[in-house]
Structure formats: C-alpha cells, structure tokens
Structure 1
Amino acid sequence: MEVKKINFLQSYSSILWLLGGIIIGSIFGLVFGEDVLIIKPLGDIFLNLLFTAIIPLIFFTIGSSVANLERTEKLGKLFVIMVLVFLATILISAIVMICAVFLFPIHEHIAIAKVVFEETASGSAGDQIAKLLTANDFFELLSRKSMLALIIFSFLVGFATLQSGEKGNAFKSFLDSGNEVMKQLLNIIMKFAPIGLGAYFAYQVGVFGPQLLGVYAKPMAVYYAACIFYFFVFFSLYAFAAGGKRAFKVFWSNNIMPSLTAVGTCSSIATIPANLTAAEKMGIPAHVRNLVIPLGAPLHKDGSSMSSILKITFLFAMFGKDFSDPMTILLALGITVIVSIVEGGIPNGGYIGEILAITVYGFPMEQALPVAMILGTLVDPIATLLNANGDVICSMMVSRFSEKTKW
C-alpha cells in the first residue's frame, strides 16, 4: 500500500489558520481592549453553529459505526481482546496524565472567570444516574445537556440496525449517508473557526487582560512532556508485552513512517495506510491488522485521552474548582473512555468529547468550550501521534494475545 508523501503546509493548514486567527485576535484584544466587544458576536455565531451540528453528528457517527460491524465467530474473540486492549491503554494513558498534572499542578490562580455553575437537580443517586444515562422524552435527546443519553441511544440504534440483518440495510445506508453529510457539515463550520475563535480570543484578551496569553504555556508544556514520556516508555513496555525484545525491535524499526505520517497529517484516518503497511512488515496477521487498525482510528485514542484529562484539569483550575476528589477523578477516567470512542479521526475533531466533559461537570458552555478548543488545537499534533501510532502497538498486543504471534 502506497504511503503519500507528507506536505507540511497542506497537512497543517487548518491548524495554522486557527493559530493565525488566535494570534490576530490576541493582538486586537491587546490593542483595542474592551472595544473588541463589538466583534464578540462573530464568536457567538461560530459556537452556535457548532452546537447545532454536534447532536446529529454524534447520532450518525456512532449509529453508523456500530451498524457496520461484521460479526463472525472468529472475529468475536478478536473483538473482545481488542476492546480490552483498547480500554487498558486508554486508561493507562489517562492515569499517566493525571500523575503529570498532580506532579506539575496547573495553579488555581489562573482563574479568569468567576461564574455560577449550572445547578444540579436534586434527587437520590439513582435518580441522578437515570437522568444522566437516559432521557424521558425523545426531544430531550436533542439537547446538549443530554449528551450521554444520546450516545447510549445512538449505540442502541446502531446495534438494532446490525441485528436487523438485510431488512435493516436501508436504514444502515441512511446512517452511513447521514454520517458523511454531518462530517462534511462540520468541515464547513470549521472553515469559520479562525474567525470565530479569533473573535473569542480577542474578547478574552481585551476583557480579562494580557495575562491570559501566558495561561496556556504551562499546560502545553506538561502535556507535551507527558506525551513524549508515554510514547517512548509505555509504547516500549507494550512492545515487550507483545513479545519481548524481538517485538520491541520489530516495533521501533518499523515505526518511523507511521509516526511521521501521524505528525505530518494530524489525522488518525489519514495514517491508516501507513499503519497497515507497517503492521504487515511487523508480521501481524492480516485478519488482526485489518480489524484493529481501521477500528482503532476512530475508536482508540491514547493522545485524546491524555488531552481530555488536561482540558478537565485546566477548566477546574480556570473556574477555581478542586480536581483532587476521588469521584471527580473517576468520572474523568470514564469521560476519557467515551471521548476516545466519540471523537472522529479528523484533524481537530475532539469537540464532541469536550462538550461532553463540560456538560457532565456543569461548566458554562459558552466560556469553557472555546478554551478547550484552543487547547485541543495546540496539542493536536502529538495527540494524533499517540492516537494513530497506538493502533499499531495495540494490533501487536492483540495478535500476541489472540494468535500467540511470535516475532
């Protein structure tokens, strides 16, 4: 399979435009101060377009993915092992990031806004869980406040379509078509991201002061350091688990092209050809690599798991909240698993997971989402490296545990 040459400007064009918008917006904020309130509606329009597109995008993405799974006895065992490996690496990466933010804490003095949190409805723990996981009317699924209920409903619809066999083919085609349409819609909306985020950043800098510019430096440094550590140390440990020193040598000797492709394209989907080629050279059986790598691109994201933890801890610090509570940390781990599943394999495609985290913790959406989006943009290259390259190392472990492969 041919691997396309990396074009830096083309691969990073979306990120460069976003960064350009943020920089220009920052300059406007510094120069004009609170007068930039006049362009704040541009940011509001962009956010509103994004909010309205997210709900149908989630439904079609998850429903289509589940409806298109192939079920055979041989793949059944592989699928179970693959899911366990995916979950293990996602949780391990999240725990590594939690350790990093505790060792190098993001101090609460960065708080740039003191706002009232959305009130949590009263009731027993059982009632709260029921409201979190389900909605008592269909139209309530269309609210971003019912994000987790929508995700569960979408899984069930996809599974019901899968169980319907040939009679469900027409509906499966509808899900596939809707999935593609909503992805294209998101791409169209994201064309306005440099203007929307630029306007928002101009507002933040102009209103809250130039000290905001230094807020992102420390979390970025912590994230990049933790990701580099995870990439070399834990990927090596995973390779040893897949087959000792031989597997270690096989993995790192064939890992250069997938790594460069991931960083160069900033897309897990675009890295699939390079991953499949590397997996073939590593000697991973075809039926393993052809299942794990394509499914891993949209469903398995170690880098996004780590960035999810970073964004949550950053928002907790931003709004002056304590992240050290054990239940808060456990909930964050649960969110990282969901984020890994619902995020698309496209550049800067983590907004679904960000909205989910903001909703679950009750942060004010209009202030929290742009901050999380800016962080997501800044950490995207190395996050994609872990997301995409993690599929190759996971395919090695799945091959070892299911096929007893030796290198």
Structure 2
Amino acid sequence: MEKRKKRGVWASYKFPIILLISITLGALIGIFAGAKAEVLKPLGDIFINAMFTIVVPLVFITISSAVANIASLKRLGRILGLMLAVFFVTGVISSVIMLFSVQLIPPAEGVELTLEQPEEIQTLDTADQFVKAFTVPDFMDLLSRKNMLALIIFSILFGLAVNMAGDKGRKVAEGLEALSHVMQKLIKIIMWYAPIGLGAYFAALIGVFGPELLGSYARAMVVYYPISILYFFIAFTLYAFVAAGRRGIPVFWKAAITPAVTSVSTQSSVATIPVNLEATARIGVPKDIREIVIPIGATIHMDGSCLSAILKISFIFGLFNMPFTGLDTYTTAILIAILSGMVMSGVPGGGFIGEMLIVTMYGFPPEALPIIAMLGTLVDPPATMVNATGDTVSSMLVTRYMEGKNWIKKQLGSPNQNISEEVTESI
C-alpha cells in the first residue's frame, strides 16, 4: 500500500521534479562556472525560441476558439468582468504588502550609486502608448509577440464575429477548437526538451547576473526576494483556498510547479502561457475560462511587477533623499504600480516601459531610469514567477465565482479520486 502511494506521488510530480533538478543543476553550474556558463545559453535559447514561436498562433487560436464556442455572450462578459476584478484586487494586495515591507526595511538606505546619463531617453506619451498597446497599423504586426494586447483584442473580436455568425460560423468555431487541441499536443512535444533548455538557460542566468546580487543593490534584493517568495507561497495558498476550499490548495500546487519553474527560468509570462494552459486544465478550470484568463493575464496581470514597482519607487525616493510617506504618496504608488504592471508586454525587458512610466509620472530626472532598470533586471526572475503563477490561481478564483463553490468537485470528482494518471498523461 505504501509502495503504491509512493508511486502515486512520483506519478503526480515526476515532470516538475525533473524540471527542479535540472534548474538546480543549472544554478550550481552557474555558481561554479561564473560568466563561462554563458556558453550554455544557446541550449536555453532553443527552448525559449520554440515557446515564443508558438505563442502568437496559440494566443489567437485559444482566445478566438474560447469566445467563438462560448454558449452565451453574457457568460463571456461575466468572465471578463470577474477576471479584471480579480486582477485589480490581487494587484492592490501585492502592492500594499510591499508598501509595508519597504517601510520596515527602506531598500535604498545607505546605498550610494553613481548616476549615469543614459544615451537616449524618450518622453512617455501616455495617449500614444495607449494606442500602440491596444492597436497596430497593419495586420502583419499582429504576428509578433511584441503586440500581445493588440493580438488579444483582435482574437476576442474575431471570436465574437464567429459566434455572432450563428450556423454559418459553426464550422469555423469547430475548426478553431480542433486547432486548439493540436496546439496543446505541440506544447507537449516542445516540453520534452524543457529540462535541458531550462537548466542551460538558468546556468547562464546565474553565471552572468549572480555577482550583481552581492553589489550595491543587495539591500533591495534582501527586501524583494523574501517578500516575493512569501507572497508566492502564502498569498497563492490563500487564494487557492478561497477559490476551492481545502482541496484547492494541493490541487493548485500540484499543477502550479511547472509554470512556476518555467517562468522563473525564462523570465517571461508569455513563454509560460502554453504550460499554464496545461496546468489550469489539470486543475479543472473550464476551457472557456482558462483560454481567456491565461493569455490575457500574461499581459495585464502582474502581481510580481506590482511588488517590484513599489520597491523601485521606494528605492528611487531614497536615492534622491525624498520622503516616501503619506497617504497620497502611497495611493499614487499603488495606482502607478498597477498601471505599470498592466503596460508590461509580458516578455523579457517589457518592464522598461513600466520603469519609464514610474520615472515620468513622478518627474524624476532621466538619470533615474538606468538605475531602476538595473533593479528591474535583478528582480525579474521571482517577479515573473509571481506574475505567471498568479494567472494560474486567478483562473481558479474566476471559476469559483462563475461556477460556484463546489466547482472543483464537479470537475475532478470526489476528493479521493486519484488524478495522478491524468497529470502524468498531460505532461
């Protein structure tokens, strides 16, 4: 009996364990080899490029398929409304947590940095940025992961058009659903290479950026890393409990390990979309909900970025000897944190736009930009992990209020049901 139980645990966690082992080995190689570990980066780039290659068709097919096949447009409206509410509330919670943290341990206290003038600073035009974020001038521009919000909006509108076409659109809807299943199989094929790709990428990451953690930004790291990790484990556990009761906690963590590991290694919420869709399917999140929440969440739901935005704001206030106190200051910081999180592109380096927003809206001199940009680079791995895994648990919260408190029992059966076979098969 005990032997059978052990097999069940291994069957449930086999692939995440393999990923964690490969990540650990990669980290050790990075620590001992230092910058020389960058020679392994091409092996990681192969995996990253493969994930990015499928992301554009995957987002279009999954979102348009979900919208086209949804039984009621009223249900679509409820999903989108609940999703935005969940994203906003969790963003506020993460921002408030970091606000308290930076008051206890000011990240810039005792830090002395040489301010360097960047080569070029462009003034942020909020209206222009809004237009560029949500639209593109040419259809071909939609075929780029750099325009994810525009692609998502186009996918929703296309799905709506198919849905509204009635019987004439039925064949298109069925075709999109079939393509969605094909894309999921393609994801599984690419994930066979994940242990090698992620291990190599992580080795290069630690080898190149590891020493910076011991430099002048160490104090900020001491604040951010523990808080983000505690938020990851404690807040997400609470969210999973709210979403599905006690049973929701083990079900969530059983499925969330793979997207968490993928996101911390790739530093991209968008690259995590494929594995996140698989994870939420294993959790039992309905197809239409997961195929709307996960792709959109990868672009506009950024709990980790809200945490880092508050850290950056506090850090830059400290560098310029400005008091980071007062209700008005805190409220503005929370709003900017949420806004900067929502303008992220969901790809590595996408935080630069959010950092430009912070510098511009507070009126800091342009010298502040490279400082917080470097800070953003250092906090990016755990921030992306919180961002991406936050989408997983958010899809559960949306399901809770769409399907009722017993949704997980309806989807996965009785608590005694062994779903390890389903998990293994899906991997």
TM range (shorter): 0.5 to 0.7
Give the whole-Å Cα distance in 1 for the aligned partners of 2:348 and 2:130: 25
Aligned to 2:173: none
1:379 Cα offset (Å): 0.9
Question: Is 1:148 the equivalent of 2:149?
Answer: no
CA separation of 1:182/1:269 partners in 2, compared to 1, >3 Å: closer, same or farther? Answer: closer
Give the whole-Å Cα distance in 2 for the aligned partners of 1:182 and 1:75: 20
Give the whole-Å Cα distance in 2 for the aligned partners of 1:107 and 1:182: 34
Give the whole-Å Cα distance in 2 for the aligned partners of 1:284 and 1:217: 40
One-letter code aligned to 2:127: A
One-letter code aligned to 1:402: M
1:110 Cα offset (Å): 2.9
Question: Is 1:176 the equivalent of 2:142?
Answer: yes
CA separation of 1:182/1:234 partners in 2, compared to 1, >3 Å: closer, same or farther? Answer: closer
Matches within 5 A, 1:305-324: 305-324=306-325
Give the whole-Å Cα distance in 2 for the aligned partners of 1:392 and 1:233: 15
Give the whole-Å Cα distance in 1 for the aligned partners of 2:148 and 2:279: 31
Give the whole-Å Cα distance in 2 for the aligned partners of 1:392 and 1:275: 7
1:363 Cα offset (Å): 0.9
1:237 Cα offset (Å): 0.7
Gaps of 5+ in 1: 21-63, 116-142, 162-170, 184-197, 199-211
1:217 Cα offset (Å): 0.6
1:182 Cα offset (Å): 11
Aligned to 1:58: none
CA separation of 1:96/1:79 partners in 2, compared to 1, >3 Å: closer, same or farther? Answer: same
Superimposed CA distance per residue, residues 288-327 of structure 1 (whole angstroms, 9 cap, x where no aligned partner): 1111001111111111111111111111111111111222
Matches within 5 A, 1:252-291: 252-291=253-292
- Contact preservation (8 Å) 1:113, 1:319: no
Give the whole-Å Cα distance in 2 for the aligned partners of 1:182 and 1:258: 19
One-letter code aligned to 1:375: L
1:253 Cα offset (Å): 1.9
Superimposed CA distance per residue, residues 169-218 of structure 1 (whole angstroms, 9 cap, x where no aligned partner): xx5616525875899xxxxxxxxxxxxxx9xxxxxxxxxxxxx9743111
One-letter code aligned to 1:397: L
1:368 Cα offset (Å): 1.0
Give the whole-Å Cα distance in 2 for the aligned partners of 1:181 and 1:87: 22
- Contact preservation (8 Å) 1:242, 1:397: yes
- Contact preservation (8 Å) 1:258, 1:271: yes
Give the whole-Å Cα distance in 2 for the aligned partners of 1:342 and 1:383: 15
For the aligned residues, what is the CA RMSD? 3.6
CA separation of 1:177/1:240 partners in 2, compared to 1, >3 Å: closer, same or farther? Answer: closer
One-letter code aligned to 1:396: M
Secondary structure of 1:254 counterpart: helix
TM-score (norm 2): 0.60
Matches within 5 A, 1:211-290: 214-290=215-291
Question: Is 1:85 the equivalent of 2:51?
Answer: no
Superimposed CA distance per residue, residues 4-60 of structure 1 (whole angstroms, 9 cap, x where no aligned partner): 996869x99xx99xx96xxxxxxxxxxxxxxxxxxxxxxxxxxxxxxxxxxxxxxxx
CA separation of 1:267/1:114 partners in 2, compared to 1, >3 Å: closer, same or farther? Answer: closer
Give the whole-Å Cα distance in 2 for the aligned partners of 1:355 and 1:397: 32
- Contact preservation (8 Å) 2:79, 2:398: yes
Superimposed CA distance per residue, residues 259-313 of structure 1 (whole angstroms, 9 cap, x where no aligned partner): 2111222111111121111111111100011110011111111111111111111
- Contact preservation (8 Å) 1:112, 1:319: no
CA separation of 1:249/1:76 partners in 2, compared to 1, >3 Å: closer, same or farther? Answer: same
Give the whole-Å Cα distance in 2 for the aligned partners of 1:252 and 1:91: 23
1:395 Cα offset (Å): 0.2
- Contact preservation (8 Å) 2:107, 2:311: no
Question: Is 1:406 the equivalent of 2:384?
Answer: no
* Percent identical residues: 39
One-letter code aligned to 2:391: D
One-letter code aligned to 1:149: A
Give the whole-Å Cα distance in 2 for the aligned partners of 1:244 and 1:293: 21
Give the whole-Å Cα distance in 2 for the aligned partners of 1:406 and 1:370: 46
Give the whole-Å Cα distance in 1 for the aligned partners of 2:258 and 2:320: 41
Gaps of 5+ in 2: 1-14, 36-58, 150-207, 410-427
Matches within 5 A, 1:51-70: none
1:257 Cα offset (Å): 1.3
CA separation of 1:276/1:213 partners in 2, compared to 1, >3 Å: closer, same or farther? Answer: closer
Matches within 5 A, 1:20-39: none
Give the whole-Å Cα distance in 1 for the aligned partners of 2:365 and 2:148: 25
1:149 Cα offset (Å): 3.0
Superimposed CA distance per residue, residues 140-181 of structure 1 (whole angstroms, 9 cap, x where no aligned partner): xxx9445333344457x74xx9xxxxxxxxx56165258758
Secondary structure of 1:394 counterpart: helix
Question: Is 1:375 the equivalent of 2:375?
Answer: yes
Superimposed CA distance per residue, residues 235-267 of structure 1 (whole angstroms, 9 cap, x where no aligned partner): 011011102101112111222212211122211
Give the whole-Å Cα distance in 1 for the aligned partners of 2:147 and 2:256: 34
- Contact preservation (8 Å) 2:98, 2:227: yes
Give the whole-Å Cα distance in 1 for the aligned partners of 2:369 and 2:307: 17
Aligned to 1:388: 388
One-letter code aligned to 2:244: G
Give the whole-Å Cα distance in 2 for the aligned partners of 1:403 and 1:307: 33
1:338 Cα offset (Å): 1.3
One-letter code aligned to 2:126: L
Give the whole-Å Cα distance in 1 for the aligned partners of 2:390 and 2:132: 26
Give the whole-Å Cα distance in 2 for the aligned partners of 1:113 and 1:362: 19
Q: How many residues align?
A: 292
Secondary structure of 2:90 counterpart: helix
